[in-house]
A = this chain, B = another copy of it.
Amino acid sequence: MKPLRPGRSFLFRLPKGSDIGVEVAAACRRAKVRCAWVQAIGATTKARLGYYDQRRRRYFEKEFRGEMEILHCVGNVSLKDGVPFAHLHAALGDGKYRVWGGHLFASEVFAAEVLIQELRGPAPVRLPDPATGLSLWGLPAARPRR
């Protein structure tokens, strides 16, 4: 497991109506960020969350149309087919303070504050993973062991 080192940080607000995943990937493309950790808070007007059915090996999706607080959106950016790809999960809070969450497929923000922390060095790359049916990073040669 080779260490990466902290690179640039990008901290910005997303405009109303924009999609977090799309904007994060676009910002990374423009700034030539190949690998990063991503966090965001804010509020959505709409969001599409996913749940991965591990046995059937497919995502189920649900659209949340109500206005929601983005309690957090956390994930990363790494290269997939040579371009920056954002993998994000989110927890959303409704007007009764209940929380809903999943894989963030799509979002439409009311406002959002995003941090992209670039990681420099031998970054992982997404490849098809037969064992899970997902697109995952390769396991390190000397991978963590119990």
Question: Which residues of A approach B to under 8 Å, CB–CB?
Answer: 1, 3-6, 8-16, 18-19, 22-24, 26-27, 30-31, 35, 37, 39, 41, 43, 45, 49, 51-55, 60, 62, 64, 67, 69-72, 74-76, 87-91, 93-95, 97-103, 110-111, 113, 115, 117-119, 123-124, 129, 131-132, 134, 136-140, 143-146
Contacts and interface: CB of A to CB of B under 8 A. Distances in A.
Contacts of A19: 146
A57 to B, nearest CB: 11
9 contacts: A3-B9, A6-B9, A15-B143, A26-B145, A27-B144, A51-B94, A52-B110, A70-B89, A87-B113
Contact of A89 (B18, B64, B69, B115): B69
Contact of A90 (B16, B54, B71, B103): B71
A64 B42 CA distance: 21
A118 to B, nearest CB: 8
Total copies of this chain within the assembly: 3
A76 B144 contact: no
Given A3-B10, A12-B140, A51 B35 contact: no
Given A9-B119, A23-B146, A139-B15, A111 B89 contact: no
Nearest to A114: B144
A70 B54 CA distance: 13
